[in-house]
Amino acid sequence: MRYVYAMARTSDPARKPALLSEIIEFLLDKPLITLSFRTLALGLGVSTYTLVYHFGTREQLLRDIVTALTDRQDAVEPDFHGDLTDVDAHVEKFRAAWHLGLEPRSRQLLRLEFEAAMLEMRDDDDRADTRRVMNRWYWMACEGLVRMGIARADAELESRIMIDLLYGLQYDLLVTNDDERATASFERALVNYGRRLRELLVEQRRSVPAK
C-alpha cells in the first residue's frame, strides 16, 4: 500500500497585508460594525477559508483593521520637529493635516478610524492602537512647543486643546459634510491657537531674569 503525503501549503507572507489593504478599500463606504467573513468573502471574491486562514476570528480581523488604520497616521501626522522656533511653521503643519482630511479618500478613512476607535475602546485596553496614536499626537505637538520655548505645563495644555479641536472638527465634517463651515471654524481655532502661542512666548521671555 502506498501512502501519499500532501505537501503543507506554504504561507505567502505578503498575502495578509495585501488582503488587509483590499479589506479596508472594500469597507470605505460600509459600516465597520456589519463586518463578517461572509460579506467580505463575497465582496472580495475570496473564500471564507482564506479569511479564516489569515485572520483566525472576526475579533482578530477587527484588531488588524484597527492597527492598519492607525498605522496610516504615521503618514499623515505633522512633523513638529522641523522649524522649532517658528510659530507660523508649527501652525501650518496643523493646517496641512486638516486639508489632507478634506480629500474624499481621506474622509472615508477618517470615518473608518472613528468607528474603529469606538469598537476598540470597548475593550478598555491600555495597549489600544487608537489611544497610542492620540498620545503620540499629543507628545509630538507638545515637544514641538517645548523646543520653541514654551513651558512644558503650557505646552501640554495647548497641544491637547488644539489636537482635540482638530479631531472634534473632523467629526463635525463627517457628520455635517459641510466643508466650508467646518474649515472656517478650524481656521478660527488655528488663528487663536497661534495667537495664544505668541502670547505665551512673550510672557515667558519677560519672566526670564535679565543677566
Examine the domain organization and report whether 60 and 113 are in the same domain: no
> Quick one: pLDDT at residue 78?
58
Digit-coded pLDDT (tens) for 27-40: 888 888 888 899 99
Mean pLDDT of the chain: 83
For helices 104-121 and 58-71, what crossing angle results, to 10°? 130
157 close to 71: Cβ distance less than 8 angstroms: no
The mean pLDDT of 117-138, rounded to a whole number, is: 71
Q: Give the residue carrying C-alpha cell 520655548.
A: 149
pTM assigned to the model: 0.77
- Which residue range(s) make up the domain with 42? 15-66
C-alpha 52/C-alpha 38 separation (Å) is 10
C-alpha 69/C-alpha 65 separation (Å) is 6
Digit-coded pLDDT (tens) for 174-195: 999 999 999 999 999 999 999 9
Examine the domain organization and report whether 103 and 176 are in the same domain: yes
Examine the domain organization and report whether 61 and 82 are in the same domain: no
Better-scored residue on pLDDT, 9 or 118: 118
* Domain count across the chain: 2
Examine the domain organization and report whether 35 and 100 are in the same domain: no
* 80: pLDDT strictly greater than 80: no
Question: Hey, how many other C-beta atoms are within 10 angstroms of the C-beta on 194?
Answer: 17
Examine the domain organization and report whether 95 and 32 are in the same domain: no
Q: How confident is the model at residue 122 (pLDDT cuts 50, 70, 90)?
A: low
> Quick one: pLDDT at residue 3?
38
Examine the domain organization and report whether 53 and 107 are in the same domain: no
Question: Hey, how many other C-beta atoms are within 10 angstroms of the C-beta on 78?
Answer: 20
The domain boundary, picked from 34, 50, 66, lies at 66
Any domain includes 4: no
Examine the domain organization and report whether 19 and 98 are in the same domain: no
